[in-house]
Amino acid sequence: MSRVGKAPIKIASGVKIDIKGELLKVEGPKGKLSFNLPTGVTLKVDAQEIKVVNDADSESTALQGVIRTQVQNMVTGVSTGFTRELDIVGVGYRAATKGNVLSLTVGFSHVVDFKLPDGIQAKVENNTHVVLSGSDKMVIGMVADKIRGIRPPEPYQGKGIRYTNEHIIRKAGKAAAGAK
């Protein structure tokens, strides 16, 4: 039995929970999210808590902790939101936002325009620090990964797009030809 799956989820103030059959809808000040619950897992909503309850079969037991974490992320996302930060490292590398498009100048012969999905906002600080924010944790992580994939950090000089506080293992360059 999952200990994580048994823990109740506290509902923040201003968050509305609506369960219709297997569809869960969560609404709060930061947005609206919905999720289809798999069969074998149900939610019980008390006054200010949600509990994830499973059937006795092994498949639903295995899903209980994952579903609980997904619901917890939805409640947290619509109440406080999530952020993911990226740093751009390199001479002449920079970013700018134009509406819902993130324009990246990262060493290519052209500017790369990345269209942000609905519900995700980008803010650029000092031309090299990008802050992504939104209510869906999974979508923010996927968008951050796609942006990082445009120019991943390389191991010799460390240039590229990296997560803030990401440590890049650096490699030594070529040794001198006459050194023995």
The total domain count for the chain is 2
Whether the Cβ atoms of residue 87 and residue 104 lie closer than 8 Å to each other: no
pLDDT tens readout for residues 50-96 = 888 887 766 777 788 888 899 999 999 999 999 999 999 999 999 99
CATH number at residue 44: 3.90.930.12
Can you spell out the DSSP letters for 78-122? HHT-EEEEEEEESTT-EEEEETTEEEEESSSSSPEEEEPPTTEEE
Point out the residues of the chain with pLDDT beneath 70. Answer: 1-2, 57-58, 178-180
Nearest to 41 by CA among 57, 25, 20, 26: 57
The verdict on 100 and 65 lying in the same domain is no
Residues 115 and 129 grouped into a single domain: yes
The answer to whether position 16 is within a domain reads: yes
50 in the same domain as 90? no
At 76, which helix (H) or strand (E)?
A: helix 58-79
State phi, psi for 140 to the nearest 5 degrees: -60, -40
